[in-house]
């Protein structure tokens, strides 16, 4: 657990035992492996990164090579208890449609993404007048895979406009998680737990 990415560590805590879970953009399957081992969680990861897929297979995590941007039409309604997506929302073509899909195939979803309204990002843009580059957004503007950056508040609004219920939310930075007084300003990474 010590080596685990901070957002994954929080999600690990949130997931209930024996959950049937789909992990979108599951990387090398570290989260699914731990949840499977410690909490009896079952399910699949979806990934397109070859190294990630190879990693999943080598550690015995069930992984399907599938592009989330192509939709989840192959998965029926309510197939999973929980759909998790970390650090992928901002790279999707239509994050709003993916959110709909996640809450179609699962009752509940957990989404983690970099909060563009984090104060350092604001500083970068507001003072330096340049696109923010940080540990959560390490790319230059011209080669970033992150094409739909959003803020803590943007995502809250999206959920409300779609009629989804936010059951839990947290922001944080390097391992310290809380619902702060000014999450949109102080949170580097945002995590939401959303229900239909």
Partner 1 sequence: MVDTQSGSVGLVEPSIARFDTPLELACGRTLDAFELVYETYGELNAQRSNAILICHALSGHHHAAGFYPGEQKPGWWDTHIGPGKSIDTRRYFVVALNNLGGCHGSTGPTSINPATGRIWGPDFPLMTVTDWVESQARLADHLGIQRFAAVIGGSLGGMQVLQWSLAYPDRLAHAIVIAATPKLSAQNIAFNEVARQAIRSDPEFHDGWYAEHDTLPRRGLRLARMVGHITYLSELAMGAKFGRDVRNELNFGYGVEFEIESYLRYQGESFSNRFDANTYLLMTKALDYFDPAGACDGDLAAALAPAQCRFLVVSFTSDWRFAPERSKELVDALMLAGKRVSYANVDSPHGHDAFLLPHPRYDTVLEGFLRHAGDTLSLPRAEDE
Which residue's structure tokens are 């209930």?
16
**Least separation, in Å, of the C-beta of 54 and partner 1?**
5
Choose one: 7-15, 59-67, 156-164, 166-174; the region binding partner 1 (CB under 8 A): 59-67
Q: Does 104 bind partner 1 (CB under 8 A)?
A: no
Q: Does 175 bind partner 1 (CB under 8 A)?
A: no
At a CB cut-off of 8 Å and minimum separation 6, what does 101 contact?
A: 71, 72
Q: Does 174 bind partner 1 (CB under 8 A)?
A: no
- Nearer Cβ to partner 1 (7/23): 23
Instruction: Report whether 82 contacts 20 (CB < 8 A).
Output: yes
**Least separation, in Å, of the C-beta of 24 and partner 1?**
14
Q: Which of residues 130-169 bind partner 1 (CB under 8 A)?
A: none
Q: Compute the C-alpha angle 150/153/157, nearest 5°.
A: 95
CB atoms within 10 A of CB 94: 12
Q: Which of 71, 123, 73 is nearest to 95 (CA)?
A: 71
4, 6, 12, 62: residue in contact with partner 1 (rule CB under 8 A): 62
Which residue's structure tokens are 């997931």?
15
What six digits make up the tokens of 18?
Answer: 């024996």
Distance, CA of 174 to CA of 142 (rounded, Å): 26
Q: Does 74 bind partner 1 (CB under 8 A)?
A: yes
Q: Does 59 bind partner 1 (CB under 8 A)?
A: yes
9, 64, 131, 158: residue in contact with partner 1 (rule CB under 8 A): 64
Instruction: Report whether 131 contacts 124 (CB < 8 A).
Output: yes
Choose one: 68-76, 89-97, 118-126, 161-169; the region binding partner 1 (CB under 8 A): 68-76
Positions touching partner 1 (CB under 8 A) are 44, 50, 53-54, 56-66, 74-76, 79
């Amino acid at each position: 657990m010590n080596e685990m990415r901070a957002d994954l560590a929080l999600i690990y805590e949130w997931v209930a035992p024996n959950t049937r879970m789909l992990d979108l953009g599951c990387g090398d399957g570290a989260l699914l492996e731990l949840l499977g081992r410690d909490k009896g969680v079952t399910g699949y990861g979806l990934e397109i990164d070859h190294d990630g897929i190879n990693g999943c297979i080598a550690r015995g995590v069930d992984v399907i090579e599938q592009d989330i941007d192509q939709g989840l039409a192959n998965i029926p309604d309510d197939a999973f208890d929980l759909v998790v997506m970390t650090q992928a929302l901002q790279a999707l073509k239509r994050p709003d449609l993916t959110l709909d899909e996640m809450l179609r195939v699962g009752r509940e979803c957990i989404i983690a993404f970099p909060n563009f309204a984090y104060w350092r990002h604001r500083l970068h843009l507001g003072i330096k007048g340049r696109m923010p580059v940080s540990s959560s957004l390490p790319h230059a503007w011209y080669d970033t895979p992150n094409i739909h950056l959003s803020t803590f508040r943007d995502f809250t609004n999206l959920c409300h406009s779609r009629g989804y219920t936010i059951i839990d939310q947290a922001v944080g930075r390097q391992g310290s998680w809380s619902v702060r007084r000014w999450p949109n300003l102080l949170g580097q990474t945002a995590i939401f737990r959303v229900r239909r």
